[in-house]
Amino acid sequence: MFGSVSSSEQKKPKPEKKEKRDPGVITYDLPTPPGEKKDVSGAMPDSYSPQYVEAAWYPWWEQQGFFKPEYGVSAPNPRGVFMMCIPPPNVTGSLHLGHALTNAIQDSLTRWHRMRGETTLWNPGCDHAGIATQVVVEKKLWKERGLNRHQLGREAFLEEVWKWKAEKGDRIYHQLKKLGSSLDWDRACFTMDPKLSATVTEAFVRLHEEGVIYRSTRLVNWSCTLNSAISDIEVDKKELTGRTLLPVPGYKEKVEFGVLVSFAYKVQGSDSDEEVVVATTRIETMLGDVAVAVHPKDPRYQHLKGKCVVHPFLSRSLPIVFDDFVDMEFGTGAVKITPAHDQNDYEVGQRHRLEAISIMDSKGALGLPRFEARKAVLAALKERGLFRGVKDNPMVVPLCNRSKDVVEPLLRPQWYVRCGEMAQAASAAVTRGDLRILPEAHQRTWHSWMDNIRDWCISRQLWWGHRIPAYFITVHDPAVPPGEVRKAIASCFLAVVCWALGWQRDEDVLDTWFSSGLFPFSIFGWPNQSEDLSVFYPGTLLETGHDILFFWVARMVMLGLKLTGKLPFREVYLHAIVRDAHGRKMSKSLGNVIDPLDVIHGVSLQGLHDQLLNSNLDPSEVEKAKEGQKADFPAGIPECGTDALRFGLCAYTSQGRDINLDVNRILGYRHFCNKLWNATKFALRGLGKGFVPSPEGHESLVDRWIRSRLTEAVRLSNEGFQAYDFPAITTAQYSFWLYELCDVYLECLKPVLNGVDQVAAECARQTLYTCLDVGLRLLSPFMPFVTEELFQRLPRRTPKAPASLCVTPYPEPSEGCAVAVASDRCSIHLQLQGLVDPARELGKLQAKRSEAQRQAQRLQERRAASSYSAKVPLEVQELRKVDEAIALPQCSTNRDGSNKIFSQHSLLSVWCGQGVCRGLT
């Protein structure tokens, strides 16, 4: 009735204590048309199966409109409005654990606000991802047709991009649905949609007219492979400890980095053949040198004031300038100055009014390709006797994260946004408290960035993106006076043709972050007024990773204030970065990147290896990555399900700390789902077929105790959501279900339900129903699938109850409370003799104690390692001390000499030899 079990797994499920073994693959096979409600009339399967539970619910939720803000509410809504827009993922993207964490947090918040009765909108969208998409389509073109975009032409190439978007662009939306994300898909936006493109054009024109957007020639990060400027976030910084050979696109042999080459400049007019020795990691750039700089207080060079050195290859005299930026202690204390190819040198050049001479074209060539020119320059210096040595030098090499090419600082004309005044306004909003940033530690970073902000380069030399709405005017007739030209330009834009002028639209497109910065109001069609714009802008919350605080969050705030006069949201919550179980940043080369769908569905070790073979990893890195996978996942990744992954990620999300994700812990929450399943299955048997929820009667002491614990869990959950304290919420809910309801109350309930006192049994059933009803609603924001599945099997208190758990009111403390907790020191004594087995309970606690001791031992071993104090930051060391203290249970002795054990989680202490349990509140 309820599905099928694979032929190799027809055996009866293992007992609970052996649950870690594969319980079998149970699937939901009843024919259910998409959008129709799932049939839950049959018997529950023997054990929890993610595949069975997660089937069919999402299409029904979506079809019923539960995720739309209009569902079930009227305007104006006295409970208020909650609006949040998704950080738009790249159209080229696929899910990674960062997406999973973002969506687990955002969806839990959205579902909580929706269940509280607020008008709730979580707006989806997707970013056109200028560079990433263009690279993907170019590779596809080359692979399938042997063409590059220039051979195809701009218009034909853009047609190919739109075609690719139509075929592949919705992939990440389907993955987000797999995560249970309750987004209003009818409002989904793409940053290249006509509505959003119109906002981009309007914003550019307004800002240009006000002088906020302007054009200037400055140094930019340049990718020679992409032939475009790129943003700082698209630059990876590869740290080298010394001489290293790196692969560079377009070069057959690896290129040497991490060395410092010294050479001499002869002092002009010196009778003693005096020279100044300088050193550089980029010897080829000496062809663009325009000066040598020394520190004003360096005694070695005071006699050279007003003198010059001679360039050995060019008829150029280079002045010796004195500047504080020079480090006298490094090398010879003399520095070559190349303003057109180094940011620091550019600033020195500005201070001393030095010429900036560009020596490279847009592809990085100096006549020869730049790294071949490096060899040629070095050979020429040696030939002229000016080479003075080479040595290892720790350095950072900037790499384009799209092309893996070495980034060059080049002078190029670009469009810029003047950020100073907008940054001051954004900083002041936080200072006043109008904008709240959490965790508050990030506010210091916010103010630091805003105080030191530079103007923002917004143009990119790409074809895919929002083409800049600006035109270059050419005067064909030089006899036309300037005043007449201006009049003619005005006429041209009024569609009056003028033979003396020609114009051409700028070839560049806008930085993707520009359109992303407009996202909170472009999705509602600004500047055109609409009902959505008036109701949902400004939004309530922006939730995202702290790594894009400047690149996205700050720009949304600056542009929102400038263009609409309003903050785009009132609060910003920044979650941590996901790392692997060892605290390492996730990297494909390490083999520790985890696809959340692999955690949801499970994957074999061979399956993980196969993913590496289909990736863009260098063959030399594949074997290293395989070893990493084998060490971390020797048996692959077990099937955990969506609910366990979401709950686990939120449980990890402690404010201010990165997440070291251990997949085994996610598996533990998969077992927790099985606990929910078995507890509900037992409860439904105990309630019986004819059970009708009704007002409570004369509860027993244990009934009143579990109600008080339920009330406390509800209180902690609501307070946790308000404070964005996700571990507090998950801990409260986990503890209630596992350690209070399952471990204590259900055990106490068995003899009551089987006893002769029908009044007591009926009261117990009503309390049990309340625990299930409220407990499932508590968990719903984190575990939407399993809670919906179980909730749909419960009877309803009223015939007009909502159709789905996701639109059922979130619990309030008054719903469970039969006995208020008078004090946090209050103790409730329960006489349970004959109802529980002390030896069995003590055994459970001993097992928990042993596991906690093992955790503490592992923490102690890490701290005892010789490299621990040197490599681990002090704040992490302090946090691990706390973790160790929490992990280690404490033992003490009763006054009568018997032992008692307090577990980290358990609310019980069992006295040996006595049939008495004491519930700790």
Nearest alpha carbon to residue 763 among 743, 775, 748, 777: 748
ω into 76 cis (within 30 of 0): yes
Q: How high is the pLDDT of residue 492?
A: 53
Tell me: pLDDT of 740 over 70.
yes
Q: Comparing 490 with 802, which gets the higher pLDDT? A: 802
What is this structure's pTM? 0.84
Q: Comparing 10 with 520, which gets the higher pLDDT? A: 520
Q: pLDDT confidence of 915, banded at 50, 70, 90? A: very low
Q: How far is residue 415's CA from residue 904's CA, in Å, rounded to a whole number?
A: 59
Mean of pLDDT over the chain:
86
Q: Which residues of 111-146 are buried (b: 16+ CB within 10 A; e: fewer)?
A: bbbbbbbbbbbbbbbbbbbbbbbbbbbbeebeeeee
Environment class of 193 (CB within 10 Å of its CB; exposed 0-12, middle 13-18, buried 19+): middle
Q: How far is residue 541's CA from residue 105's CA, in Å, rounded to a whole number?
A: 12
Q: Which 3 state secondary structure label does DSSP give 718? A: helix
Encoded tokens for 315: 């008829």
In whole angstroms, how far apart are CA 366 and each of 288, 370, 383? 10, 6, 20
Strand pairing partners for 411? 219
Q: How high is the pLDDT of residue 251?
A: 95
Q: How high is the pLDDT of residue 907?
A: 32
Tell me: pLDDT of 906 over 70.
no
Q: How high is the pLDDT of residue 533?
A: 96
ω into 34 cis (within 30 of 0): no
Tell me: pLDDT of 655 over 80.
no
Tell me: pLDDT of 876 over 70.
no
Q: How high is the pLDDT of residue 831?
A: 52
Q: How high is the pLDDT of residue 800?
A: 87
Mean pLDDT of 160-169: 92
ω into 538 cis (within 30 of 0): yes
Q: Comparing 322 with 893, which gets the higher pLDDT? A: 322
Tell me: pLDDT of 450 over 90.
yes
Which residue reads 């210096």 in tokens? 381
Encoded tokens for 765: 């059933």
Which residue reads 């909580």 in tokens? 112
Strand pairing partners for 487? none
DSSP letters of 15-55? PGGGTTS----EE--S---TTSPP---SPPPSS--HHHHTS
CB 21 within 8 A of CB 12: no
Least confident of 529-533, 643-647, 909-913: 909-913
ω into 478 cis (within 30 of 0): no
Torsional sign, CA 908, 909, 914, 916? negative
Encoded tokens for 427: 């900083």
Residues present in the chain in total:
921
Q: Which helix (H) or strand (E) is 874 found in, with range?
A: helix 874-887
Contacts of 134 (CB under 8 A, 6+ apart): 149, 161, 462, 463, 464
CB 293 within 8 A of CB 326: yes
Tell me: pLDDT of 10 over 60.
no
CB 589 within 8 A of CB 236: no
Q: pLDDT confidence of 65, banded at 50, 70, 90? A: very high
Q: How high is the pLDDT of residue 584?
A: 76
Pairing relation of β-strands 501-505 and 456-457? unpaired
Q: How high is the pLDDT of residue 14?
A: 39
Torsional sign, CA 604, 606, 612, 614? negative
Mean pLDDT of 809-830: 64
Q: pLDDT confidence of 283, banded at 50, 70, 90? A: very high
Least confident of 390-399, 592-601, 667-676: 592-601
Torsional sign, CA 188, 193, 197, 199? negative
Give residue 214's identity as a one-letter amino acid code. Answer: Y
Q: How high is the pLDDT of residue 835?
A: 57
Q: How high is the pLDDT of residue 488?
A: 61
Q: Which 3 state secondary structure label does DSSP give 708? A: helix
Q: How high is the pLDDT of residue 55?
A: 95
**β strands within 444-537, DSSP E:** 456-457, 459-460, 471-475, 501-505, 509-510
Contacts of 222 (CB under 8 A, 6+ apart): 228, 229, 230, 362, 407, 408, 409, 410, 412
Q: How high is the pLDDT of residue 660?
A: 80
Nearest alpha carbon to residue 647 among 539, 460, 783, 773: 783
**β strands within 125-167, DSSP E:** 125-126
The per-residue pLDDT for range 494-529, each reduced to its tens digit, is 444 455 567 789 999 999 999 999 999 999 999 999
Mean pLDDT of 238-251: 94
Encoded tokens for 32: 């259910």
Strand pairing partners for 216? 414
Please report how many Cα atoms fall inside a 13 Å half-sphere around the Cα of residue 162, on the Cβ side. Answer: 10
Tell me: pLDDT of 109 over 50.
yes
Q: How high is the pLDDT of residue 447?
A: 97
Q: How far is residue 200's CA from residue 471's CA, in Å, rounded to a whole number?
A: 16
Q: Comparing 127 with 656, which gets the higher pLDDT? A: 127
Encoded tokens for 549: 């605080």
In whole angstroms, how far apart are CA 169 and each of 157, 193, 429, 452, 766? 17, 13, 37, 38, 50
Alpha-carbon dihedral of residues 62, 65, 67, 73, nearest 10 degrees?
-170
Strand order, beta sheet including 541-545:
436-438, 571-575, 541-545
Tell me: pLDDT of 41 over 70.
yes
Q: pLDDT confidence of 76, banded at 50, 70, 90? A: confident
CB 429 within 8 A of CB 447: no
**β strands within 346-458, DSSP E:** 365-366, 368-369, 387-392, 395-400, 408-417, 436-438, 456-457
Q: How far is residue 440's CA from residue 219's CA, in Å, rounded to a whole number?
A: 34
Q: How high is the pLDDT of residue 434?
A: 97
CB 113 within 8 A of CB 84: no
Q: How high is the pLDDT of residue 870?
A: 66
Q: Comparing 651 with 625, which gets the higher pLDDT? A: 651
Q: How high is the pLDDT of residue 917?
A: 34
The per-residue pLDDT for range 354-408, each reduced to its tens digit, is 999 999 999 999 999 999 999 999 999 999 999 999 999 999 999 998 889 999 9
